[in-house]
């Protein structure tokens, strides 16, 4: 389904928070008295860029987290994603540098899928509306390899300050389908309640696929309308009309997919069909070759240049 070889969310979170490259080792969330990590402070108002002070000495200690501002919302669970604002630093030796800030970008970011171990430990269980400080040692970040793309050395410490704005279910949108398609469109059967599997798509036996893009909203979300340039967190399944077989599914991978929509990062049928939908919607897309992979197809996925593609997409969140 993707055109681009690499996913771009925000320059930092694409390389860091969503990379899932860190060690899975556990560590204490409280720094010992001798740790320099406890000297890191963050002040300011929720929703505005914090003032972060990092000492001019070498960082050391176990994973250190602190709830700087206590929220009043529900506690974030391990099966939820989050919309939040952040600022992040690379602490190397006695110096540090800013890695990125959603405050500077002017919009929040999505925290979903596989996070760095230290970041997940810092956020899960915190209440929405909280500001959280996380000082992450290498073993809870990128391990002994570091991250050369982001300029992070193998002994560098990461410092995050995160404002937790809202949470969303990582698996599917809420609500009941108002329609399942059918007729000349594929039939979409919703999964059983509590299931982590995605919807099932059945291609009509005697119908010929449309030569133009078909968009059918199966569940209408109550969120804001999706606009070009937003980052979406979605779950999806893709079926080849010709074969009736699934060729790609984020549900099968048990991890949401994130993408900047309307920016040419995905096939045209997605960019056209998802912009204007509301967050929380389930959408059926029937995509002709011209709006899919064109005459060349995608041989690695078994897609010919004449194949029509069918997607069911749950729009979980947008930044």
67-88 pLDDT, tens per residue? Answer: 999 999 999 998 899 999 999 9
Which of 25-29, 104-108, 157-161 has the weakest average pLDDT?
25-29
Q: CA triplet 142, 148, 153: central angle to 5 degrees?
A: 60
| Helix runs in 101-257, H state only | 102-105, 117-123, 250-253
According to the model, what pLDDT value does residue 175 have?
92
260-306 pLDDT, tens per residue? Answer: 999 998 999 999 999 999 999 999 999 999 999 999 999 999 999 99
Residue in this structure with the two tokens 């570091």, named with its chain if needed: 146
Q: How many CB atoms lie within 10 A of CB 51?
A: 11
How far is Cα 64 from Cα 18, in angstroms, rounded to an integer? 20
Q: How many CB atoms lie within 10 A of CB 48?
A: 10
Whether the domain at 11-168 and the domain at 187-318 fall into the same CATH topology = yes
According to the model, what pLDDT value does residue 53 have?
97
Going by C-beta distance under 8 Å and a sequence separation of 6 or more, which residues neighbour residue 256? 81, 112, 113, 170, 233, 234, 235, 250, 316
According to the model, what pLDDT value does residue 112 have?
86
According to the model, what pLDDT value does residue 35 have?
85
According to the model, what pLDDT value does residue 113 have?
80
* Radius of gyration of the CA atoms of the chain, in A: 21
Which pTM was predicted?
Answer: 0.82
According to the model, what pLDDT value does residue 34 have?
61
According to the model, what pLDDT value does residue 151 have?
87
How far is Cα 109 from Cα 242, in angstroms, rounded to an integer? 38
- Say what percent of the chain tops pLDDT 70: 89
Closest to 241 in 3D by CA, of 163, 313, 307, 144: 307
Going by C-beta distance under 8 Å and a sequence separation of 6 or more, which residues neighbour residue 298? none
CATH level 3 topology of 187-318: Chitinase A; domain 3 (3.10.50)
Going by C-beta distance under 8 Å and a sequence separation of 6 or more, which residues neighbour residue 163? 46, 47, 69, 84, 85, 86, 130, 131
- Say what percent of the chain tops pLDDT 90: 76
Domain 11-168 top-level CATH class: alpha beta
* Domain residue ranges in the chain: 11-168, 187-318
219-274 pLDDT, tens per residue? Answer: 999 999 999 999 999 999 999 999 999 999 999 998 899 989 999 989 999 999 99
According to the model, what pLDDT value does residue 246 have?
95
281-292 pLDDT, tens per residue? Answer: 999 999 999 999
| Burial status of residue 217 (CB atoms within 10 A of its CB: 0-12, 13-18, 19 or more) | middle
What mean pLDDT do residues 197-203 have? 95
- pLDDT at residue 18 greater than cutoff 70: no
According to the model, what pLDDT value does residue 33 have?
45
According to the model, what pLDDT value does residue 217 have?
97
CA 222 vs. chain centroid, Å, equals 20
Q: How many CB atoms lie within 10 A of CB 31?
A: 20
Write down the mean pLDDT value for the chain: 88
């Amino acid at each position: 389904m993707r055109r681009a070889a690499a996913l771009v969310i925000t320059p930092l979170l694409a390389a860091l928070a969503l990379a899932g490259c860190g060690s899975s080792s556990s560590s204490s969330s409280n720094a010992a008295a001798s740790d320099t990590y406890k000297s890191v402070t963050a002040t300011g108002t929720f929703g505005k860029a914090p003032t972060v002070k990092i000492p001019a000495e070498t960082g050391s200690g176990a994973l250190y987290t602190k709830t700087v501002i206590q929220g009043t919302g529900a506690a974030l669970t391990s099966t939820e994603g989050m919309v939040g604002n952040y600022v992040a630093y690379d602490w190397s030796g006695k110096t540090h540098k800013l890695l990125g800030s959603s405050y500077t970008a002017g919009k929040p970011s999505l925290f979903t899928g596989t996070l760095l171990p230290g970041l997940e430990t810092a956020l899960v269980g915190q209440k929405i509306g909280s500001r959280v400080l996380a000082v992450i040692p290498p073993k809870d970040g990128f391990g002994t390899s570091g991250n050369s793309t982001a300029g992070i050395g193998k002994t560098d410490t990461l410092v995050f300050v995160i404002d937790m704005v809202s949470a969303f279910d990582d698996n599917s949108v809420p609500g009941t389908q108002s329609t399942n398609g059918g007729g000349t469109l594929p039939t979409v059967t919703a999964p059983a309640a509590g299931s982590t599997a995605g919807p099932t798509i059945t291609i009509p036996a005697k119908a010929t696929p449309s030569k133009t893009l078909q968009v059918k909203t199966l569940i209408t979300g109550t969120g804001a309308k999706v606009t070009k340039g937003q980052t979406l967190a979605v779950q999806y399944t893709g079926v080849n009309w010709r074969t009736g077989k699934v060729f790609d599914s984020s549900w099968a991978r048990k991890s949401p997919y994130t993408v900047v929509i309307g920016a040419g990062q995905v096939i045209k049928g997605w960019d056209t069909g998802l912009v204007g939908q509301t967050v929380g919607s389930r959408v059926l897309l029937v995509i002709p070759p011209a709006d899919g992979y064109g005459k060349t197809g995608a041989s690695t996925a078994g897609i010919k240049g004449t194949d029509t593609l069918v997607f069911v997409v749950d729009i979980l969140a947008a930044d």
